[in-house]
């Protein structure tokens, strides 16, 4: 089948849409991509559906001739399950708009498909938030059955253990302990936080009144990673604990599905925080399951969204309430 596929990746701090050829070749051409803003969360929930529609419109405008030949659309979006309503109906509306088979999934599904190239296993995604997801892989017919299992992804107030907002929040707690003369080990973090956010007395108003506070907290994780590279012990310890939290979530997600824990990967933007986090993840996985195979991610969530688009175009993916809709 000729034509094109459209992949959309919506995260907490940014979004991307990619157009790629539907035809699988030994050396496929790199996809054409566009970028946009990330998800924000307010009193009415997530604006992911609006962001997705904007990206679809941008793709139509950027690639008008190719857009008419789209065979499948794959969408991975942060917060789409718990903070948006009637996702199945939304998926059908996108399918009507694009005249293509459409699958909408939580962001972790796209990350899993990108990291493991459609193979079975467990993946922890560390970005602004954190979630782990596992799947045993395609069945004998090459179809992905509704067997996704997840751990965490509860948002920055209740969970997202090891994610960017989690790191930022714990780093600011350490900074405030230093400010309050409770624990002076967070001196470097306090200085970095002052440079980014101003005086500590302004932080409550800065964060508590914002709809994008998770993204603001995650932005501070960049400073934490920089301090860790400079040898700050508190920052280094925070990154190591984030890696261990990510490993615990991956093992827990994998243990819920048959043979889903054989391959385990860490993916997401926070992987770039440094080897301290990555090595702590690997060590904790192997401590918890000596038979696990820890692999580097083969691709990112946008690659996974394109894989999802190809699968739905070929009718090789099945919906699962709360995780994936077609």
Q: What pLDDT, on a 0 to 100 scale, did the predictor assign at position 114?
A: 93
Report whether 250 contacts 163 (CB < 8 A).
Answer: no
- 202's CB contacts (< 8 A; 6+ apart) are none
Alpha helices by DSSP H, listed for 134-212, are: 164-179, 187-197, 203-208
Q: State how far the Cα of 175 lies from the Cα of 181, in Å rounded to an integer.
A: 10
Domain 118-297 CATH assignment equals 3.30.420.40? yes
pLDDT of 213 reads: 83
Q: Let me know how long the chain is.
A: 326
DSSP-derived pairing of the beta strands 130-135 and 121-126? antiparallel
Closest CA to 267 of 83, 137, 20, 76: 76
Question: How many whole angstroms separate alpha carbon 127 and alpha carbon 273?
Answer: 10
Region class of 275: left (phi > 0), else alpha (psi between -120 and 50), else beta: alpha
Which CA distances in Å does 30 have to 35, 73, 100, 260, 306?
A: 16, 17, 21, 30, 12
**Tokens found for residue 45:** 């929930």
Q: So where are the chain's domains?
A: 4-116+299-325, 118-297
**109 near 308, Cβ under 8 Å?**
yes
pLDDT tens for residues 189-211?
999 999 999 999 998 988 888 77
pLDDT of residue 26: 41
Residue 258 has what pLDDT? 45
Q: Which CATH class is domain 4-116+299-325?
A: alpha beta
- Shared fold status for 4-116+299-325 and 118-297: yes
CB atoms within 10 A of CB 130: 30
Give the chain's residues under pLDDT 70: 1, 12-13, 24-30, 36-46, 81-85, 256-261
Place of tokens 């048959």: 258
């Amino acid at each position: 089948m000729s034509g094109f596929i459209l992949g959309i990746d919506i995260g907490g701090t940014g979004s991307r849409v990619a157009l790629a050829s539907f035809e699988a070749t030994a050396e496929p051409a790199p996809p054409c991509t566009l970028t946009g803003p990330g998800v924000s969360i307010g009193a009415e929930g997530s604006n992911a559906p609006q962001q997705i529609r904007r990206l679809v419109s941008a793709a139509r405008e950027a690639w008008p001739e190719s857009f008419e030949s789209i065979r499948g659309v794959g969408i991975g979006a942060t917060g789409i399950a718990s903070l948006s309503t009637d996702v199945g109906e939304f998926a059908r509306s996108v399918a009507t708009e694009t005249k293509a088979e459409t699958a909408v999934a939580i962001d972790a599904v796209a990350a899993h498909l990108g990291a493991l190239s459609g193979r079975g296993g467990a993946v922890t995604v560390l970005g602004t938030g954190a979630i782990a997801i596992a799947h045993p892989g395609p069945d004998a017919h090459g179809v992905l059955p509704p067997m996704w299992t997840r751990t965490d992804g509860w948002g920055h107030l209740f969970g997202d253990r090891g994610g960017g907002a989690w790191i930022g929040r714990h780093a600011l707690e350490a900074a405030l302990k230093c400010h309050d003369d409770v624990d002076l080990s967070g001196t470097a973090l306090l200085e970095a936080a002052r440079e980014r956010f101003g005086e500590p007395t302004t932080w409550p108003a800065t964060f508590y009144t914002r709809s994008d506070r998770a993204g603001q907290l995650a932005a501070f994780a960049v400073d934490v990673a920089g301090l860790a590279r400079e040898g700050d012990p508190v920052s280094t310890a925070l990154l190591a604990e984030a890696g261990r939290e990510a490993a615990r979530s991956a093992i827990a997600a994998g243990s819920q599905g048959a043979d889903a824990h054989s391959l385990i990967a860490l993916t997401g933007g926070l992987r770039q925080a440094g080897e301290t986090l990555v090595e702590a993840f690997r060590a904790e996985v192997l401590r918890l399951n000596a038979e696990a195979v820890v692999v580097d991610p083969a691709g990112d969530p946008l690659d996974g969204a394109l894989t999802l688009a190809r699968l739905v175009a070929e009718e090789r993916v099945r919906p699962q309430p709360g995780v994936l809709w077609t």
